[in-house]
Structure 1
């Protein structure tokens, strides 16, 4: 078993391996991939989630795993059960992997120290959100064809954002240049700890950017007073068409969701032709499929684009590879029918 706790802990090669596998799942989403048949995946979310929790469940089910959702509000957590006792219980019940989201930074790491089961971090406080970082990387690679050499602008509430931290580590590790943009009160207190440049000027930060990632205001994590008002923040840092025009031609717009309408990004930008927000959500399933297979040390799938055979159906297998029944008809002949 392996734990996926942070992109900072992964090498460029490990990140690329996960992206290649996720892309294979995306390109072959209609094929059977029963890599986790007979395995049990438990989700344990101490904070609300729509995209992350559902996509982890869908990912596990597409891999033929049994999925158990631990409803914290109806579990023994309400009786004071600790995180460590809860994860030990899930493991004793047969969980092979436990997906954890928690408001405390380091909670998944703490759980990993007492378990044989694999732990996947689904977001821990203001620390990291590694699978969000991976799906952001995959989306950029799909849309722009590369990551190395790109200029990434991350705009908004950086201080409280685990998404920003995972993105900074992931993009920089693969050779992109990252700039963090926001008011001084929302930039990291220790900017040297992240592989990125910081600026309070939104125009400076967006100039020539290939990717503009806007972040949700983390109002639930703020003590208050970080910005004079949400309205003033939106006027100064909300992404408009005029600001987007300062980025590189063909730049794409990203957002981890959920979007606060009219605050961090205007509706016409979020739903415009440069937006890849919906693609990010879809890619969450494929990235989390790859993450689960990787964490459980199963064989990851890769695409052989040179295959001269066509698919006529699929059959189950015990490893992580897609299985295709091969036809004796060459692909070129099939294309003419």
Structure 2
């Protein structure tokens, strides 16, 4: 495996090659059908311990990692911040050293600080998988998004993808802006000027006019406004976001004929996306994303716990 996938940790999409990403997507494919069986038990992680250390709230990511580990046979332990020594002032590094002394085989971490996963990886003796660090990266989300699209279209190369909304504060956008171009997609970023990156990344078309930005797109990926990562003044200045940037039934007419809609969740219905659009069985891939999340996280747990993983 060291030649096929030479990385010890999954801290971000940045630093991975297109071949690395395709390798993980191919590994995830086997688990899609597996997860649709009546009985879902594989023993390749039997005897291994997985710690999920989530310093931020989560539904999709935490539970999909827990389900993924259990379906692979791992002993899964969830770290509860509210009842931990973090509440007594323990540092992130000291918490990581404590967890490391318990000899886990893989650590999955979500944290509100950019770079937290990399900081923890410095002191852990096991692989670390980043489940979201601040406004930095969310690599498994980008992988599940890519898998969802590849299964829908049979390809990612050549797709016109509009990532819309709070690009500046979104770790989902951060990872997708690395992965999708590597896989050959044409990516646009769309949103209010206040929510676009201060210095737009080179090579990306940037739009503040929502309807212009989504015109002809094969995929519209809407993002939640992350008020928890904004200054209050910026949050208050957004005004009626939905009227200008909400994805409505009428605005779907501007997309390519077979276009699809995505959202990483949690959704604010009636803000960045209308409920009837999110539930459209022909257009919406939102629940497909959730399903692919379990498969991708099973693949990552399997790959990163193999004895011959990268150094």
Q: Within 5 Å, which residues of 2 pair with 1:29-48? A: 29=35, 30=37, 32-48=41-57
| CA deviation string 1:105-125 (max 9, x = no partner) | 000001111122110000000
- Tell me which residue corresponds to 2:102: 93
Deviation at 1:224, TM superposition (A): 2.5
| CA deviation string 1:88-110 (max 9, x = no partner) | 11121121111111110000001
Is 2:230 the counterpart of 1:222?
A: yes
Is the contact made by 1:45 and 1:101 (CA closer than 8 Å) also made in structure 2? yes
Deviation at 1:282, TM superposition (A): 1.2
- Pair member with larger Rg: 1
Is 2:28 the counterpart of 1:22?
A: yes
Range that drifts further, 229-238 or 132-141: 229-238
Q: Please give the alpha-carbon distance, in whole angstroms, between the structure 2 residues aligned to 1:65 and 1:294.
A: 14
Q: Please give the alpha-carbon distance, in whole angstroms, between the structure 2 residues aligned to 1:139 and 1:299.
A: 28
Give SS of 1:253's match: strand
Unaligned runs of 5+ in 1: 301-337
Range that drifts further, 289-298 or 163-172: 289-298
Q: Please give the alpha-carbon distance, in whole angstroms, between the structure 2 residues aligned to 1:191 and 1:35.
A: 43
- Tell me which residue corresponds to 1:57: 66
Is 2:248 the counterpart of 1:240?
A: yes
The count of aligned residue pairs is 299
Q: Within 5 Å, which residues of 2 pair with 1:198-217? A: 198-217=206-225
Root mean square deviation of aligned Cα: 1.7
| CA deviation string 1:109-150 (max 9, x = no partner) | 011111221100000000010001111011111111110110
- Tell me which residue corresponds to 1:306: none
Deviation at 1:297, TM superposition (A): 2.8
Q: Within 5 Å, which residues of 2 pair with 1:55-134? A: 55-134=64-143
Deviation at 1:228, TM superposition (A): 5.5
Deviation at 1:201, TM superposition (A): 1.4
Q: Note closer, same or farther for the CA distance 1:245–1:3 as it changes in structure 2 (3 Å cut).
A: same
Deviation at 1:230, TM superposition (A): 5.5
Is 2:274 the counterpart of 1:270?
A: no
Give SS of 1:226's match: helix
Deviation at 1:229, TM superposition (A): 5.4
| CA deviation string 1:197-235 (max 9, x = no partner) | 211111221111111000001011110233665651110
Deviation at 1:64, TM superposition (A): 0.3
Deviation at 1:153, TM superposition (A): 0.3
- Tell me which residue corresponds to 2:3: none
Deviation at 1:298, TM superposition (A): 5.6
- Tell me which residue corresponds to 1:11: 17
Q: Please give the alpha-carbon distance, in whole angstroms, between the structure 2 residues aligned to 1:54 and 1:185.
A: 33
Deviation at 1:82, TM superposition (A): 1.0
Q: Note closer, same or farther for the CA distance 1:87–1:252 as it changes in structure 2 (3 Å cut).
A: same
Q: Please give the alpha-carbon distance, in whole angstroms, between the structure 1 residues aligned to 2:123 and 2:235.
A: 40
- For normalisation by structure 1, the TM-score amounts to 0.85
Residue 251 of structure 1: which of 259, 284, 307 is its match? Answer: 259
Is the contact made by 1:231 and 1:263 (CA closer than 8 Å) also made in structure 2? no
| CA deviation string 1:133-187 (max 9, x = no partner) | 1110111111111101101101101111000111111111100011000010100
Deviation at 1:32, TM superposition (A): 4.3
Q: Note closer, same or farther for the CA distance 1:298–1:20 as it changes in structure 2 (3 Å cut).
A: farther
Residue 181 of structure 1: which of 173, 190, 206 is its match? Answer: 190
